[in-house]
Structure 1
């Protein structure tokens, strides 16, 4: 048969697809469980671990003896799943697929509840503030852990449009003098 020349049978291709779907789902659940912090900032060790994860995941998806055809099937499946997730994010139930921003600082006040929810310690927040060029807390209007894992630091000086804060659950804790009137 023609698929024997490709090095993969239809049944093996089905197993690659199912393995790719399983790994994608497991990765999705694990990242959601670990929280946005898992994506925030990576040390050298974190990067090495990600490379090792990629190797292990590739073996799981492709099977014992990887072939070009199995790789193409796995890659295509992952891209289809990625695209499907993007389409689902635009639906009414898309909120299940993305995290909400977490308020870490409101004005010059560090929010311990936000740090706890984000699984970030104060020293990591201070690092992000320094990266943003903050010299003291009085310069901060907001610090937010974004769904991407990045920390956004907004400086004082210009009023903040409340529309930019619409997915932040604790936005009522933001001092009114930092916000544009509705």
Structure 2
């Protein structure tokens, strides 16, 4: 479901989002364990979930794991807002401004890049120091980042 709704689903949760997840977790737990769970059913349910986590970790390392890992999305390059990136990430411009304020940005000219990470968090790198190209691995649209902000390779 997270894959379908995109990284935005993990970016920032409201109090209501947390309450819904907790309620759904309780309902899902009852469904997985049955109406009247026993100790054996609880152990089987937990073992199944941990087995699924191990399977996911194994698949993530394999070639088929590309589906399980999201790519970062470039939201800002220099002081230019990448509207295609915002649309792809399902983030409104006002939400980007909120994340910039959280990062201590007072002026758009302070921003080197803003990236929505696969975890759903927004990383904001400031101008002042050149960005190591290694940190931009897997970031699409790298060519939109002004060259004067990136270390030469």
Normalised to the residue count of structure 1, the TM-score between the two structures is 0.81
1:176 aligns with 147
Q: CA deviation at 1:76?
A: 1.1
2:29 aligns with 58
Q: CA deviation at 1:49?
A: 0.7
1:95 aligns with 66
The aligned runs of 1:152-167 (5 Å cut-off) are 152-167=123-138
The alignment partner of 1:103 has SS state of strand
1:142 aligns with 113
1:43 aligns with 2:10: no
1:77 aligns with 48
- Work out which structure has the larger RCO, using CA pairs closer than 8 Å and 6 or more positions apart in sequence: 2
Q: CA deviation at 1:93?
A: 2.6
1:86-110 superposed Cα distances (whole Å, 9 cap, x missing partner): 1221223321111000000000011
Instruction: List runs of 5+ in structure 2 lacking aligned partners.
Output: none
Q: What is the aligned length?
A: 153
Deviation >3 Å, runs of 4+: none
Q: CA deviation at 1:170?
A: 1.2
Normalised to the residue count of structure 2, the TM-score between the two structures is 0.96
Q: Which has the higher helix share?
A: 1
1:3-59 superposed Cα distances (whole Å, 9 cap, x missing partner): xxxxxxxxxxxxxxxxxxxxxxxxxxx110000010111111111111111011112
